[in-house]
Structures are given as C-alpha cells and as structure tokens.
C-alpha cells in the first residue's frame, strides 16, 4: 500500500501532484490502465447544438468517453480515457483534435482556464488596450477583466454609465439618439463603445446596454434584451442578444457574451461592418 501526504495549500498541492506524485505513481502502475480526463469549455452554442456537431462515432464511443455538462452560459465537454499511462495522453489528444475540428473556436479553453483569462492572454499577445462602458452589467465585465494578475497591461478604465445622463456626460452619446432609439438599442451600445475608446484613447472600446429586469421591459424590448458593441480604430461589431433567467443570471450571461465577442475579435473570427 502506498500512502502519500500532501500540503493543504491548493497551489502547492497541485504542483507537487503534477510534478511529483503522478510521475511516481506512473512508475508503479506500468502496463496497468489509468483514468485521465480533460474538459473542453464551449461558448456561443447550446448543449443540443454541441451534440449535433459531434459525430455519433465520437459521441457514443466507450473509450475514450465523452460527457456533456451544461453550465451557466457555457457547455463543458469532458473527455475521459482509460489506458496505460504511456498512451492515455495520446488517446485524449486524438479525440480533442477531432472535437476541435468539429467545434472550432466555439471551444474557448480547457480545464481550469477562464474566459477572462483567455481574453487577457490575447490582449497581451496582440499588445492591445481596452476601455469598457457598462450599463446593465454594472461593472461586472470590468471586474472580470481586472481579476487577472497584471491586468493593467491591457485594461485602461471601466465606466458604469447606468443612467441616460451618464451616457451623455461621460461617453458623449447624443441625447437625441437616446430619445429616438432608446437607451437599450444597438445604436446607443455602438456610441458607448466608441465613447469609451475615444475618451480613454485605447485600441478597443466595449459598450453594453440592456434590460436585466425584473422591471424596465416594454412590449418591444423584453427583459433580457442586451446590445453589445466593440469598437476598434477602424471597424466595429454590434450585436443583439436575448437572455432568459433572473437579474443575476442575465447579467452573468451578458458578461459572457461580451467577453466572447472580444475573444472572437482577438482571434480574427468576426466579420466587421463598415
């Protein structure tokens, strides 16, 4: 019997487990199967759409197996393989490569990677800066972007322009535009993104406005309606979403959509309007 004691501090324990314990145990179980898993994190499509994109031969394979799990605003796809230690990694990689071929950039990360962490990586890699103008999310996007160590490399400022007057005073949105189109509109989101970028003198500006509920809806603008815009120095993206759920869920899913828009732009996955 082998008994291994590890420290309780997660960061220390994880490193020791990966660098010391796992290689040691592998020497003790040669020619015996071990179980290993890897999670692919998917954003932009639902669980049923993920299933439709995966061939039945992969989806129903007995080893490695695939497991789908719907999370808040995303889908996790777990690959689990049971093979001898010297080949189990290759078996997982073969399946992962096939899944990436089918799902493309809907896969945003693996295992413990976060969406904001991936966005931070690409902002740094491309040496870009960003300013964020938020209404319905109330600073949640800025919070997530600044949760990453060294976020000052890419994050300049976040403006929570919750009221119409704040949009006018802080972002330069025309009062006449708000009266004509409403604060929750594609046009206002676009001007918010532009105003954030220009006022902060950054490479990118992100704007978001919506109705998180439970009040504020109209016949034409339901609870969950969100408009998100991204402005660069030459191009722009603007998109409409409708999310379901309570106020907290809508705010979270809106932040997911905004960060995913930013991620896809950084990967070159968006076709811009002029």
pLDDT, tens only, 112-136: 999 999 999 999 999 999 999 999 9
DSSP per position, 115-129 = HHHHHHHHHHHTT--
Q: What angle do CA 71, 145, 164 make, to 5 degrees?
A: 95
**Domain range spanning residue 132?**
115-267
Indicate the residue among 110, 142, 162 that finishes a domain. 110
Indicate the residue among 110, 144, 162 that finishes a domain. 110
| CATH number for the domain that contains residue 257 | 3.90.950.20
Same domain assignment for residues 127 and 212: yes
Beta strands in 155-254 (DSSP E): 155-160, 204-210, 225-231, 236-242
Higher local confidence (pLDDT), 245 or 32:
245
% residues pLDDT > 90 (the chain):
84
Task: State residue 111's pLDDT score.
Answer: 98
d(CA 160, CA 135): 6
Same domain assignment for residues 130 and 209: yes
- pLDDT confidence of 23, banded at 50, 70, 90? confident
In a domain? residue 197? yes
Task: State residue 48's pLDDT score.
Answer: 95
Same domain assignment for residues 133 and 196: yes
- pLDDT confidence of 31, banded at 50, 70, 90? low
In a domain? residue 182? yes
- Mean pLDDT of the chain, nearest integer: 94
Same domain assignment for residues 152 and 226: yes
Task: State residue 29's pLDDT score.
Answer: 67
d(CA 79, CA 98): 12
Count of structural domains within the chain? 2
Same domain assignment for residues 105 and 123: no
DSSP reduced 3-state for 232: coil
DSSP reduced 3-state for 230: strand
What number is the average pLDDT over the span 49-68? 95
Same domain assignment for residues 176 and 260: yes
Task: State residue 274's pLDDT score.
Answer: 37
Indicate the residue among 110, 139, 167 that finishes a domain. 110
Q: Which two tokens stand for residue 115?
A: 């969406």
- pLDDT per residue over 228-257, tens digit each? 999 999 999 999 999 999 999 999 999 999
Is residue 4 pLDDT above 60, yes or no?
A: yes
Radius of gyration of the chain (CA): 22
Task: State residue 192's pLDDT score.
Answer: 99
What number is the average pLDDT over the span 184-210? 99
Task: State residue 271's pLDDT score.
Answer: 55
């Amino acid at each position: 019997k082998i008994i291994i004691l590890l420290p309780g501090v997660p960061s220390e324990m994880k490193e020791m487990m990966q660098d010391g314990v796992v290689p040691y145990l592998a020497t003790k179980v040669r020619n015996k199967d071990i179980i290993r898993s890897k999670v692919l994190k998917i954003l932009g499509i639902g669980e049923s759409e993920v299933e439709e994109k995966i061939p039945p031969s992969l989806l129903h394979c007995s080893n490695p197996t695939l497991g789908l799990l719907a999370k808040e605003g995303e889908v996790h796809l777990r690959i689990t393989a049971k093979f001898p230690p010297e080949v189990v990694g290759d078996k997982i990689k073969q399946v992962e490569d096939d899944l990436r071929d089918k799902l493309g950039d809907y896969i945003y990360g693996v295992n413990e990677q976060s969406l904001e962490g991936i966005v931070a990586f690409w902002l740094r890699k491309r040496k870009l800066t960003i300013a964020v103008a938020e209404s319905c999310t109330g600073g949640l996007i800025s919070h997530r972007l600044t949760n990453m160590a060294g976020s000052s490399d890419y994050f300049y400022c976040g403006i929570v322009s919750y009221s119409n007057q704040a949009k006018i005073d802080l972002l330069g949105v025309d009062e006449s535009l708000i009266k004509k189109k409403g604060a929750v509109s594609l046009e206002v989101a676009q001007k918010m993104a532009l105003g954030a970028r220009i006022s902060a003198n950054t490479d990118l500006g992100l704007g978001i406005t919506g109705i998180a509920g439970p009040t504020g809806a109209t016949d034409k603008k339901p609870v969950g309606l969100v408009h998100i815009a991204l402005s660069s120095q030459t191009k722009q993206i603007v998109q409409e979403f409708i999310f379901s759920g309570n106020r907290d869920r809508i705010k979270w899913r809106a932040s997911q959509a905004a960060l995913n828009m930013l991620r896809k732009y950084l990967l070159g996955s968006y076709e811009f309007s002029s």
